[in-house]
Amino acid sequence: MAVHSESQDRTITLLGDDGGADIIVHPAARAWQQLQPGNLPGSIEAVRFPNWKRSKTRIYRLTGCAPGKHAVIAKCAPAAKLDVERRVYMQILGPLGMDLPHCYGHVADRDGVFGWLFLEDVRGVRYSEDDSRHRLLASACSALSAS
């Protein structure tokens, strides 16, 4: 059963705990099943971000499906864009010993044009221009996306 309720952190719950059949057919849940078979989310929330209406990127929070019943962020975007982001996490920032969200993996859509990136849902401190670690992460991402 679809649920459309606004919450304070810019999310809309699309599918709730009572919508098991609907959850199975959601594209984010189907992609997640390729990485973690049998671990269906309890709910799926659309995450809004600046310019989300004009963006080709879609972000969802899949609740209760990661190890320890934690949430996962599922990001659907053009495959080339996700490939760059995945490389930043795994090949650049990871080896630097940065404190990063866990990357559960990447799944390409059948057409190869779009794909999914699954990351640990992290909540906490917002970005601060005054924090040197935040600036380092932001500049590394900016430099990579400019190349």
Q: What is the mean pLDDT of the chain?
A: 79
User: What pLDDT, in 10s, does the model give residues 88-132?
Assistant: 877 887 777 777 788 898 899 888 899 999 999 987 677 778 888
How far is Cα 40 from Cα 143, in angstroms, rounded to an integer?
A: 36
Helix (H) or strand (E) holding 133: helix 132-146
Q: Strands 72-78, 114-120: parallel, antiparallel or unpaired by DSSP?
A: antiparallel
How far is Cα 73 from Cα 88, in angstroms, rounded to an integer?
A: 17
121: CB partners within 8 A, 6+ apart: 61, 66, 70, 71, 72, 73, 101
